[in-house]
């Protein structure tokens, strides 16, 4: 819900891949390969990196990589 009290829904085009060998899932939100990104790590309470977030120079999220994806992606999406 937004600050104004209104909510919106819509479609989000996402390409994603899951590397079962590396147990990592990558989600791409339309970034071009030549665009510079800044990567931020998200860690769990034990200090392990669990998510990598890539942002464009303008601050938009362009990709996300889930590490240990088997434990983070709902089972209904993995089948």
Question: pTM here?
Answer: 0.76
Residue with tokens 């983070």: 72
- Kindly report, residue by residue over 2-40, the tens digit of the pLDDT: 455 666 777 778 888 989 899 999 999 875 666 788 999
**Calpha distance 32→15 (Å, rounded):** 13
Contacts of 37 (CB under 8 A, 6+ apart): 31, 54, 55, 56, 57, 62, 63
pLDDT bin (cut points 50, 70, 90) of residue 54 is very high
Tokens representing 71?
């434990």
**Average pLDDT value for the chain:** 84
């Amino acid at each position: 819900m937004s600050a104004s009290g209104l909510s919106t829904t819509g479609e989000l085009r996402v390409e994603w891949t899951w590397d079962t060998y590396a147990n990592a899932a990558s989600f791409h939100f339309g970034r071009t390969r030549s665009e510079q990104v800044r990567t931020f790590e998200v860690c769990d309470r034990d200090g392990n990196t669990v998510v990598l977030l890539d942002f464009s120079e303008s601050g938009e999220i362009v990709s996300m990589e889930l590490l240990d994806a088997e434990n983070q992606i709902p089972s209904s999406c993995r089948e």
